[in-house]
Each structure stands twice: as structure tokens, then as C-alpha cells.
């Protein structure tokens, strides 16, 4: 029993260390901006900032980057209502961003938003994107773009490390695990499963062919 408790304690310790390292990765990656030019700015709101008012720091950062010529085209996205997306667009235009450079990408999840953004980029022959979102949401958004084949990535985070973000960071950690599992691990497991099935089926066919050959040889010997 003591060994079992020790094993459980060790496993819990490993899990906690892994989670802690993930948090450090998210914070370092999110709080470190990268690059200063891109063909598209991807402005992504999160569930923590679904209202246009809460999105103002995000939109203000996008306006500044646009006016600094960091990107000529803006895609705004998020799991917000159509009304709020319109309010975000209106806010950008009121701040001097031309309406014809703003594209709206409505999506329920980050992977869906990034997939749609990647499709929009292809239409506009754009290959580079600057991610503009809350710092704790940068890493998952970046991985989603990489999964869609967009490798030229720049980052411009919004917000600073604050104890009030602890809950959002915690959710982001497990959302990141869920995304990695769905986008990378499960497809690989399914591929391995399919390859194993093909191998088993081939082995069955070969075994049946060998059996028939042996039976044929035995019939020939008997004659």
C-alpha cells in the first residue's frame, strides 16, 4: 500500500511539474512579441473578452499596429455575437481604419477561427500573419496557424501578467492540451491504427494464400 501511495504521489508530482512548465511556456511565449511586419493582422478576441468594451485594448493595439504600417489588412475574429463583431468593426473604423481593409471571421472556436483566417489569407495571396490577442491566448493561436500551414508568424500581445488572469490562464492550459490532442496526437494514433489494420489484413491474406498453397501441395503429393 505504501508503494502505491508513493507511486501516486510521484505521478501527481510529474503532472504538476508538467502543468507548471506549460504555464511558463504560455506566459513567456505570450508576453514576448515577435516581428514587426506582416501581410495580415489577425485580431482574436477570447471568451474572457467577448464584449466590444472589453475588446478595446485589443482593438486599440490593432489600430496602432495598422497605423504603424505593421500590416495592411485586418481579420477580426472571435466567438462573439454578430452584433458585437459589428461593434468591433465600427470601433476600428471610428479610429481611422478603412472599412475595406477589415475582414470579419466569425467562429465558435480558435481552431475554426484560424482555419477560416488561413483560407482568407490564401484568397489574398498572404503568407504572413501577425497575431494580436491576449497574451495567454497567443501560444494556442500560433500552434493553430502552424497546423494550417502558415509558418510566417509574428506576435503582438495585449495585456500584462495579472493575478486576475489566473483562471483564464488555467483554462488556456487545458485548452492547449485538448487542442494538441485533437490536432496532433489523435490523428497520429488513428494513422497508426489504420496502418496496423492494413498490416493485419495483409497478414491474413498472406496466411490464407500460404494455407491454400500448402493444401495444393499436399493434394499434389497425394496424387
Tens digits of residue pLDDT in 106-159: 888 899 999 999 999 999 999 999 999 999 999 999 999 999 999 999 999 999
Helices and strands (H, E) in the chain, number of each type: 7, 5
Residue 33 has pLDDT above 90, yes or no: yes
In the chain, where the domains are located: 32-160, 165-223
Q: What is the pTM of this model?
A: 0.81
Integer angstrom CA distances of residue 179 from 128, 147, 160, 201: 22, 11, 24, 32
51, 84 Cβ separation under 8 angstroms: yes
Has domain 32-160 been given CATH number 1.10.3720.10?
Answer: no
For the purposes of burial, counting CB atoms within 10 Å of the CB of 62, is it exposed (0-12), middle (13-18) or buried (19 or more)?
buried
Q: How far apart are CA 10 and CA 156, in angstroms?
A: 38
The 10s digit of each residue's pLDDT in 48-102 is: 554 445 688 899 999 999 999 999 999 998 766 677 788 889 999 999 999 999 9
**DSSP code, position 9:** H
Amino acid at each position: 500500500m505504501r508503494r502505491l501511495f508513493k507511486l501516486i504521489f510521484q505521478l501527481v508530482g510529474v503532472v504538476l511539474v508538467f502543468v507548471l512548465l506549460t504555464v511558463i511556456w504560455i506566459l513567456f511565449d505570450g508576453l514576448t512579441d515577435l516581428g514587426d511586419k506582416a501581410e495580415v493582422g489577425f485580431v482574436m478576441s477570447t471568451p474572457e473578452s467577448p464584449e466590444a468594451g472589453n475588446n478595446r485594448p485589443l482593438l486599440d493595439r490593432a489600430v496602432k499596429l495598422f497605423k504603424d504600417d505593421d500590416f495592411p489588412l485586418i481579420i477580426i475574429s472571435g466567438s462573439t455575437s454578430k452584433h458585437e463583431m459589428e461593434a468591433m468593426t465600427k470601433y476600428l473604423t471610428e479610429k481611422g481604419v478603412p472599412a475595406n481593409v477589415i475582414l470579419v471571421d466569425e467562429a465558435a472556436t480558435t481552431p475554426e477561427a484560424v482555419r477560416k483566417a488561413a483560407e482568407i489569407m490564401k484568397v489574398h495571396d498572404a503568407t504572413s500573419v501577425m497575431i494580436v490577442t491576449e497574451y495567454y491566448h497567443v501560444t494556442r493561436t500560433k500552434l493553430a496557424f502552424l497546423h494550417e500551414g502558415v509558418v510566417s508568424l509574428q506576435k503582438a500581445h495585449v495585456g500584462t501578467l495579472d493575478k486576475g488572469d489566473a483562471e483564464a490562464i488555467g483554462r488556456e492550459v487545458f485548452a492547449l492540451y485538448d487542442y494538441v490532442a485533437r490536432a496532433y496526437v489523435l490523428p497520429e494514433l488513428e494513422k497508426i491504427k489504420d496502418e496496423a489494420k492494413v498490416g493485419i489484413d495483409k497478414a491474413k491474406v498472406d496466411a490464407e494464400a500460404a494455407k491454400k498453397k500448402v493444401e495444393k501441395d499436399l493434394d499434389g503429393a497425394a496424387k
